[in-house]
Amino acid sequence: MGSGNAIRGSRVGAGPMGEAERGEAAPRVRVSFWCANMHETRPSFASDAAVPELWDCPRCGLPAGQDEEAPPAPPKNEPYKTHLAYVKERRSDKDGKAILEEALERLRNNKSPW
């Protein structure tokens, strides 16, 4: 007695068709890329496709280039900035004190804009 499921153990696209059903594969070329950690990655591209200058290293995530002697430098990671750090970039201490005094004066006079 069967379970009534004729495609049990199969998946979409599975079968004995092979390349005859899907068509011929495009000619491929493998290109080596090296990252700053000297990891080599060899993705394949269609022979008539444009090969990119940079490729992400699958091992460490750094950018990789085709020149083994001079791989691309790792990107600079800037540290996390707080809101206060961004405010200090836009305002001088003198401006900050003037704004603070203005707000305190409004509170003292009970003329708060809030």
Annotated binding site for Zn(2+): 35, 39, 57, 60
Residue 103's SS3 state is helix
Calpha distance 10→1 (Å, rounded)? 19
User: Cβ distance 26 to 46 under 8 Å?
Assistant: yes
Instruction: Give me the phi and psi of 98, to 5 degrees please.
Output: -65, -45
Q: What is the DSSP string of 16-51?
A: S-THHHH-PPPPEEE--EE-TT--EE--EEETTSPP
Amino acid code (one letter) for 114 = W
